[in-house]
Amino acid sequence: MQMKQFSFYVITLATGFRMAFIVMCVFAVSAQAQLEIPTEVPVTPPKNRATQPVPMPTEEIPKATPVQNRIQQEVRLAEGILFVRIPAGEFLMGSPNSEPARAKDESPVSRAVMAKSFWMSKYEVTQGEWTAVMGNNPSKYRYGDEHPVENISWEDCQRFIQRLNAVSPRTFRLPTETEWEYACRAGSRTAYCSGNSVSDLDRCGWYDGNSGTGHHPVGEKEPNYWGLYDMHGNVYEWCQDYYWENYGNHPGDASAWEHPNENANRVRRGGSFQQPAKNCRSAFRGTGLPENQREDVGLRLVMQE
């Protein structure tokens, strides 16, 4: 294939999905390579990260969910950011009445259709990555560049994404609440992607029962069935949506919920290292004002095609 020479700015990431520096580089690539996202890229797992996926729980899996082929399609961008392709399908959003510790805002259980596949970042955004883009580290617990960034508001996330999009040929955003739960469950209908018990949570998430004094480097626990790490615990993750008190008016697709009051609460998902196990369930919904910061709230990215 004949290569056409042109230049653009990218972010060079030093440690997988964790950014240690921003380096402005010039690459020579083809026009086709710039426009197309590869469907599969061989990836060598970074050292000291868990690599064995949580086995697929067999309880109450909707037949329509495409679980027959465990997703391993990945794309590495700008020499570091790692995204996993999440397949199209459908799932039951929310928790059944039989699930212990469920909350009213997880009802009624609603079927949501994901008409298209999408790309979600394999790891939570780290302190090193945030600092590389924003020039500062807002985190309360500054344990190292590979730890998740926290103490950030929903509005802070929007500023981070805006800067990231300004220097990347790709477009990034927060996941919608529906995308988040679909990706977290990875075909399961159990309380956690790994099963229903606290011991199942221990394998894939950091919560108040096993985290010790703070959060941990991303990627140390087992990934879920679709290859995503830390979907349970470590830090909460902001979603794009406004918070609604139940699923009565759920749009039924992957879109973000809008709200007539633009200052209404936004959604955060996944629980955290400070939260009890029940708040790390796949269906649990956190909420907060868009300007509020908390020491256990961070983010994860979706890449648009």
Report pLDDT digits (tens) over 85-139.
999 999 999 999 999 999 999 999 999 999 999 999 999 999 999 998 999 999 9
Per-residue pLDDT band at 35 (split at 50, 70, 90):
very low
Q: Class assignment of domain 31-42+52-304?
A: alpha beta
Name residue, tokens 């103490």.
Answer: 151
Write out the two tokens for 211: 């985290």
CA distance 111 to 178: 10
Per-residue pLDDT reduced to its tens digit, 216-252: 999 999 999 999 999 999 999 999 999 999 999 899 9
Is pLDDT of 73 > 80?
Answer: no
- What is the average per-residue pLDDT within 11-27? 33
pTM value is 0.81
Stretch among 27-31, 66-70, 125-129, 170-174 having the lowest mean pLDDT:
27-31
Residue 132 in 3-state DSSP?
A: helix
Cα separation, 226 vs 203, in Å, equals 15
Which strands form 74-77's sheet, in the order they lie side by side?
74-77, 81-86, 118-121, 302-304, 171-173
Predicted confidence at residue 48, as pLDDT, reads 58
Contacts of 117 (CB under 8 A, 6+ apart): 85, 86, 87, 88
Q: What does the mean pLDDT of the chain come to?
A: 82
Contact 92, 230 (CB under 8 A): no
